[in-house]
Chain A
Amino acid sequence: MKELIKFIAEALVDQPNHVEVNEVEGERTSVLELKVAKEDLGKIIGKQGRTARAIRTILAAASAKINKRVVLEIME
Chain B
Amino acid sequence: MEAMEFEGKTVDEAIEKAVQFFKTPKEKLSIEVTSDGSQGFFGLIGSKKAKINASQMQDPVEEKKDKAQNFLTEILRLAQIPSSVRAELIDKKIFLTIKGDGSGLLIGKKGQTLDALQYLISKMVNQKPEDRVPIIVDTENYRHRREAKLALIAQKLGSQAKRQKKSVATELLNPQERRVIYLALKNHPDLTAKSEGEGKLKKVIISPRNLAHKLIKL
Contact = CB atoms under 8 A, between A and B. Distances in A.
A55 interface: yes
A30 interface: no
Interface residues of A, number: 22
B116 A64 contact: no
Given A61-B106, A64-B105, A65-B105, A51 B80 contact: no
A16 to B, nearest CB: 11
A11 B56 CA distance: 25
A50 interface: yes
Interface stretch (B40-48, B71-79, B140-148): B71-79
Interface residues of B, number: 20
B71 A11 contact: yes
Given A57-B112, A58-B117, A64-B105, A51 B123 contact: yes
Contacts of A64: 105
B15 to A, nearest CB: 36
B89 interface: no
Given A3-B78, A58-B79, A61-B79, A12 B124 contact: yes
B113 A61 contact: yes
Contacts of A60: 113
A54 interface: yes
The A interface, classified by DSSP as helix, strand, loop or mixed, is helix
Contacts of A7: 74-75, 78
Contacts of B79: 4, 58, 61-62, 65
Contacts of B112: 57
Given A61-B79, A66-B80, 4 more contacts: A8-B120, A11-B71, A53-B116, A55-B116
Interface of B: 71, 74-75, 78-81, 105-106, 108, 112-113, 115-117, 119-120, 123-124, 199
For the complex of A and B, list the 6 residue pairs with the smallest distance between their C-beta atoms, beginning with the closest. A62-B79, A57-B116, A54-B116, A4-B78, A11-B124, A61-B113
Interface of A: 3-4, 7-8, 11-12, 43, 46, 48, 50-51, 53-55, 57-58, 60-62, 64-66
